[in-house]
Structure 1
Amino acid sequence: MGCVLLQVARPAPAAAHNYLVSSTPSDGAVLDTAPSEVTLEFNGPVGQKFATVVVAGADGTTFQSGAPRVVGGTVTQRLRPIAEAGTYRVAWRVVSSDGHPISGTFEFRLRTGDATAGDGTPSPESATSPSGTVSAPSTAPSGATSARQAAERRSDGAGAGWLLAGGAAVAVLAAGAVVVVRRRSGTRDV
């Protein structure tokens, strides 16, 4: 019974989950003009249902316009005009191709206010590429965090807890079944 419990309670490999490869704007980007949309690129297709992207300012005001558009592994969220300089947090949640929800957050900073949404081009001081995207890491130096590791760290990790709880429930039910069978067979022999 212990072997069965260990097989059930063993966490599934994280490689099965999709992960965020890049975003526009990228995490930590400093922009001169407000983006008109946020684009998330995943390593594979994600579910079209239940995709959520929220872009919020420091005061809690949100700027998304309509529902996100999902095409394969690309999720695009249109934005209302962002008029004030400041830091904006992007929180996303999608359903991975293996059926598990994954989520994460990142931030970008708008250097100057803009009454109309721009194209999201980062400033020259930004540490990102000119398009504002972060590519998947090739070989990261030791101690550096890859995009996949960061996505797994930020992903919803509740699945392992539910798996352990389910395994414990199965073990309790199995033990109860053994007790019932023994009692019934004991009353027949009398």
Structure 2
Amino acid sequence: MRRLASALLALGLLVALPSTAFAHDVLERTDPADGTTVAKLPGSVVLTFAEAPLAIGAQVVVTGPSGTASSGAPTISGREVTQAIAPTAPGGDYTVSYRVTSDDGHPVTGTFSFHATVGLDGSTATAGATVHVRPVSATDDGQGSLLVPILLTIVGTVVLLGVGGFLLLRGREADRSGSASGR
């Protein structure tokens, strides 16, 4: 009986303790890099993550001076997500917004910006253009991501208390019946 209680307590501690399994994927780098100026607009943007994202729900939207400049769906190869840029995209300020699904099933979102002096269409950016950079948060969904570990901890604790109480009562009943039969 005590062995079972000890095993359940050990299992409960494993469930209740935070682990790296709750860590979400993070964006490690982008090409073009966030906040940089490139001489010529590249044909695509590349986002490199710490772990390979899942293909489900991947979205990358490239927005430039003439609106949306994304061309087709993003492709995933290992840890890299590549989004093609339309060949008619002009020079200027670009913002890239992304949402991918990390390998643990949680969404990873963010935004980065860059400036291209010359566009794919050969046009040059207007003088005095500025890049407005919004810092990319590794866990934009961070508040929601804590919900799962908190709920698991609460449920695990309630289950452990319930099982522990049951075993304690069962042990007392066994002691009573053992002492009653010994009379």
TM-score of Structure 1 vs Structure 2, range by shorter chain? 0.5 to 0.7
2:15 equivalent to 1:18: no
Compute the displacement of 1:111 (Å): 3.0
Within-5 A mapping of 1:39-54 = 39-54=46-61
Q: Distance in 2 between matches of 1:15 and 1:65?
A: 34
Aligned equivalent of 1:143:
none
Q: What whole-Å deviation, never above 9, does each CA across 1:66-88 have from its counterpart, x for those lacking one?
A: 110101111110011321423x2
2:169 equivalent to 1:164: no
Q: Residues 20 and 40 of structure 1 are in contact (CA less than 8 Å); yes or no, is this contact kept in structure 2?
A: yes
Aligned equivalent of 1:104:
110
Higher share in strand:
2
- The amino acid that maps onto 2:54 is G
Q: Residues 35 and 117 of structure 1 are in contact (CA less than 8 Å); yes or no, is this contact kept in structure 2?
A: no
Question: Would you say how many aligned residue pairs link Structure 1 and Structure 2?
Answer: 155
Alignment CA distance shift 1:44-1:166 (3 Å): closer
Q: Distance in 1 between matches of 2:110 and 2:32?
A: 15
Q: Distance in 1 between matches of 2:71 and 2:27?
A: 22
Q: Distance in 2 between matches of 1:64 and 1:117?
A: 17
In structure 1, list runs of 5 or more residues that go unmatched: 119-149, 176-190
Among residues 138, 142, 150, which one is paired with 1:154 in the alignment? Answer: 138
Q: Distance in 2 between matches of 1:12 and 1:58?
A: 44
Q: Residues 22 and 149 of structure 2 are in contact (CA less than 8 Å); yes or no, is this contact kept in structure 1?
A: no
Moved over 6 A (4+): 4-7, 169-175
Alignment CA distance shift 1:67-1:19 (3 Å): same
Q: Distance in 2 between matches of 1:46 and 1:72?
A: 8
Q: Distance in 2 between matches of 1:85 and 1:168?
A: 51
Alignment CA distance shift 1:115-1:51 (3 Å): closer
Among residues 27, 31, 38, which one is paired with 1:31 in the alignment? Answer: 38
Compute the displacement of 1:41 (Å): 1.5
Aligned equivalent of 1:82:
89
Q: What's the TM-score, normalizing by structure 2? A: 0.59
Three-state SS of the structure 2 residue aligned to 1:164 is helix
Compute the displacement of 1:18 (Å): 2.6
Alignment CA distance shift 1:173-1:24 (3 Å): same
Compute the displacement of 1:30 (Å): 0.5
Higher share in helix:
2
Q: What whole-Å deviation, never above 9, does each CA across 1:118-165 have from its counterpart, x for those lacking one?
A: 9xxxxxxxxxxxxxxxxxxxxxxxxxxxxxxx86x4322121034435
Compare relative contact order (CA 8 Å, sep 6+) and give the higher one, 1 or 2: 1
Percent of paired sites with the same residue: 33
Q: Distance in 1 between matches of 2:47 and 2:122?
A: 18
Aligned equivalent of 2:72:
66
Aligned equivalent of 2:121:
116
RMSD: 4.2
Q: Distance in 1 between matches of 2:148 and 2:138?
A: 18
Compute the displacement of 1:13 (Å): 3.3
